[in-house]
Amino acid sequence: MKLEVKGLSFTYEQRPVIQGLHFSVQDGEFVSLIGPSGSGKSTLFYLLGGLYRPQAGEIHLNGRLINGERGHLAYMPQQPSLMPWRTIFDNVRLAQELTRRTDRVRLNQLLKEAGLAEVARRYPHELSGGMQQRVAFIRALASDHDLLCLDEPFGALDALTRTRMQKWLLSLLEQERRTILFITHSIEEAILLSDRILVLSPSPMKVAQEVAVPFARGQERDERRGTKEWIRLQRELEAMLLPT
């Protein structure tokens, strides 16, 4: 599933938020987006998901122009956006409902691995914010789309749960091929998970720098944390994010 964004621009009522944005994501690649708060990352996901139409530029998925079209990718918004009248299981099932019969075995397995098996029959308001976020994450994973756009999926989690979810995501990606575009405010998380990191400029947003992560992908990458190479990369990325 190859994504190509060419010369994308978007303006909210006179205010340019994205201007001439250019990047691509290869099939099976994990690309993280880091950038200042309010630079336009979530807006980019609205554009990719077809919720908004860009004023200029093109979004191609496997060579096909998809500007303003919905239904081509799985999207996890920053806010969990669960349906309050559906149980946790039925919320997670949503992703599969549109395309095929529900694969109950897989959904139950995902819920179990995310530590949510016990709350599968509960309703969203009965869960903590972090649990709701994990439900939204699983809902995106459960979809049949190859391309997942995840907007700070682990942002509301406590440190321990966050580490557990990162490891789980890495192990999951060893078993199944997915193409991932991932927004995070954590440089450490971006290094741990990504093949490539795109550093974005403040609004109007464009790609300011692009960094390939020089460590082998997988769970072993965690062991590189704290090495000279890791710290050097972390500092480089921090410097790139400093206002000029």
List residues near ligand ATP by CB under 6 A: 12, 17, 37-43, 78, 203
Minimum CB–partner distance for residue 10 and ligand ATP (Å): 9
* β-sheet bridge partners, residue 207: 200
Cα of first residue to Cα of last residue in the chain, in angstroms, is: 36
The residue (of 102 and 186) whose beta carbon lies closer to ligand ATP is: 186
What is the C-alpha separation between 31 and 5, in angstroms, rounded?
A: 13
Place of tokens 């500007």: 67
* Smallest distance, ligand ATP to C-beta of residue 161, A: 20
Q: Are 8 and 172 within 8 A, CB to CB?
A: no
Instruction: Retrieve residue 115's tokens.
Output: 């530590």
Closest contact distance (angstroms) between CB of 43 and ligand ATP is 3
CA-to-CA distance for 166 and 154, rounded, in angstroms? 8
Burial, 21: exposed, middle or buried (Cβ in 10 Å; 0-12, 13-18, 19+)?
A: buried
Comparing CB distances to ligand ATP, the nearer of 119 and 205 is 205
Task: List Cβ neighbours of 145 (8 Å cut-off, separation of 6 or more).
Answer: 1, 72, 73, 74
Minimum distance between the CB of residue 205 and ligand ATP, rounded to whole angstroms? 7
- How far is residue 80's CA from residue 136's CA, in Å, rounded to a whole number? 5
d(CA 221, CA 73): 27
Q: How many residues does the chain have?
A: 244
Q: Give whichever of 12 and 238 is closer to ligand ATP, judged by the CB atom.
A: 12
Which is nearer to ligand ATP, 37 or 244 (by Cβ)?
A: 37
Tell me the closest approach of the beta carbon of residue 211 to ligand ATP, in angstroms: 18
Give min distance, CB of 200 to ligand ATP, in A.
8
* Cβ closest to ligand ATP, residue 16 vs residue 115: 16
Nearer to ligand ATP, 43 or 143 (CB): 43
Calpha distance 231→192 (Å, rounded): 12
Say if CB 5 and CB 21 are below 8 A apart.
yes
Q: Could you tell me the smallest distance in angstroms from the CB atom of residue 17 to ligand ATP? A: 5
Question: Among 206, 196, 203, 205, which residue's Cα sits nearest to residue 237?
Answer: 196
